[in-house]
Amino acid sequence: MLSPEGLVALAAVLTVLGLLALHFWEGWLEVSGALAEEEEEEKGIPFMAEGGSGCRLLCKPSALAQHLVWSLGRSAALQGGRWPWPRWPQLQMLRQLLQPPEPELVVARELLQLPDAGLVALDWLVGPWEAVGGGEGGVSSAVLLLIPNAAGKVTGGLLQLGLRALERGFIPVIFNRRGHNGCPLTTPQLQPFGDPGDLREALSYLRCRHPGASLLAVSEGSGSGLLLAYLGESGSSSRLAAAACLSPIFRARDWFEAGMPWLYEWPLLLHLKQGLSRYAGALAEAVDMDRLLGSRSLRELEECLFCRTRSRPTSWELYWERNEPLRDADEAAVPVLCLCSADDPVRGAPARTVPTQLFRSSPYFFLLLARRGGHCGWGHEAVLDYFRAMAEFLRADERRKGPRRWGGPAAEPPAFTWHRSYTR
């Protein structure tokens, strides 16, 4: 016989489980509708359809597009069939979010001091030693910059990608924004959603440290806003040779205004508030901390941090004119592969959240769209196959036409102040 306290606890657990089941069921219905709606969109180039992921490549026809179809069509990472519950993208997302990499990674941290005395952290994945590979497919010694989501969460999927990159001979390093993941906040200034200034400084430093290596970058989720903004702003002077975005948020303002399902928004909001509360003293001179920590949505929090500041207040509209990820997409001159799922519960239905016209018109943007996979729940290892395919294509192209300028000039970057913080 259960005690009254036990009955209350049991009722609470059953209520939570019921709410979760209702949410998943509603999500399944919404996903089914999204998939049906998405079928009406342009089909793209199908490959791996039989027994595989059913991926399609949407892009402007080109020699590079044909090479990617041929190369990624052989990718074991796109064979699919490994996830036992394909109709539950929420569970797939939680798995990649929480599952730790095996074996455990060894990380060496460097702090990079920026021109305004702010700091960003670079976490170099340096071990375990048995994971360090010798390179393959022309990507040996390429530096791979891993960009977490805008909340700074380094997911299990991103760490697993770093581990696989290490095994294949890449030099993987994680970019941590100001105040994220233990990086000290030395100025009352965080990085706006689509301001690539700090990322540009980090890439200049990487070019200085590895002058002979190719620079590659991959971003996860909302962190793709930073990478896409950098590619647009830098244009043909980008220091990157190629880039990839996993489940990117293309239309950031619309995404903030629409909001996410509560199951995702509230934990993310709590995570952000916990991180910001550590720097309440430093941020108090710039923002209203009471209002910030009392935010009830991601939009409210973003407005408090970057629009309703004490020194330079601005409007929500003007903020997004300066920070929308695709504001300068027409200027991008580096190949970027965007891996998306039609059932992504965080980004929303492709018909209203994916700029398909951009992929049809730009020779540099490629959309790899899978029917299922959730948010950042697939594609991590396929990214490495993409970078290998890019290396093969560029080598063949250079033999025909001479070296391309992708990756930017190897000009001498400015001096930096940095030091090693710790190794774990």
> Per residue in 388-404, pLDDT tens?
999 999 888 878 776 65
Q: Which pLDDT score is estimated for 136?
A: 55
Residue type, 392: E
- pLDDT of 11 higher than 50: no
- pLDDT of 10 higher than 60: no
Those residues whose C-beta lies under 8 Å from the C-beta of residue 49, and which sit 6 or more positions away, are 55
Q: Which pLDDT score is estimated for 134?
A: 58
Cα–Cα distances in angstroms (integers) from residue 310 to residues 178, 287, 292, in the given order: 19, 6, 13
Indicate the SS3 state at residue 279. Answer: coil
Q: Which pLDDT score is estimated for 270?
A: 93
- pLDDT of 106 higher than 70: yes
- Looking at residue 218, the DSSP 8-state letter turns out to be E
Under a CB-based contact definition with an 8 Å cutoff, are residues 194 and 253 in contact?
no
Lowest mean per-residue pLDDT among 63-67, 250-254, 308-312, 413-417: 413-417
Residue 113's H or E segment, with its range, is strand 106-113
% helix, strand, coil for the chain, step of 5: 45, 15, 40
Q: Which pLDDT score is estimated for 64?
A: 95
Where helices occur in 186-315 by DSSP H, the ranges are 197-209, 224-234, 252-258, 262-277, 280-283, 289-293, 298-306
- List, for residues 13-22, the tens digit of each pLDDT value: 444 444 444 4
- List, for residues 316-344, the tens digit of each pLDDT value: 999 999 999 999 999 999 999 999 999 89
Angle between helices 380-401 and 63-72 (to 10 degrees): 140
User: What are the residue numbers of the active site?
Assistant: 344, 375
Q: Residue 147's beta-bridge partner residues?
A: 219
- List, for residues 279-290, the tens digit of each pLDDT value: 999 899 899 999
Residue type, 407: G
- pLDDT of 381 higher than 70: yes
Cα–Cα distances in angstroms (integers) from residue 320 to residues 107, 220, 306, 328, 351, in the given order: 35, 20, 10, 12, 22
- List, for residues 291-317, the tens digit of each pLDDT value: 999 999 999 999 999 999 998 899 999
Angle between helices 224-234 and 197-209 (to 10 degrees): 80
Which residue would you say has higher pLDDT here, 30 or 307?
307
Under a CB-based contact definition with an 8 Å cutoff, are residues 228 and 252 in contact?
no
Indicate the SS3 state at residue 145. Answer: strand
- pLDDT of 71 higher than 80: yes
Q: Which pLDDT score is estimated for 54?
A: 73
Cα 246 off chain centre by: 5
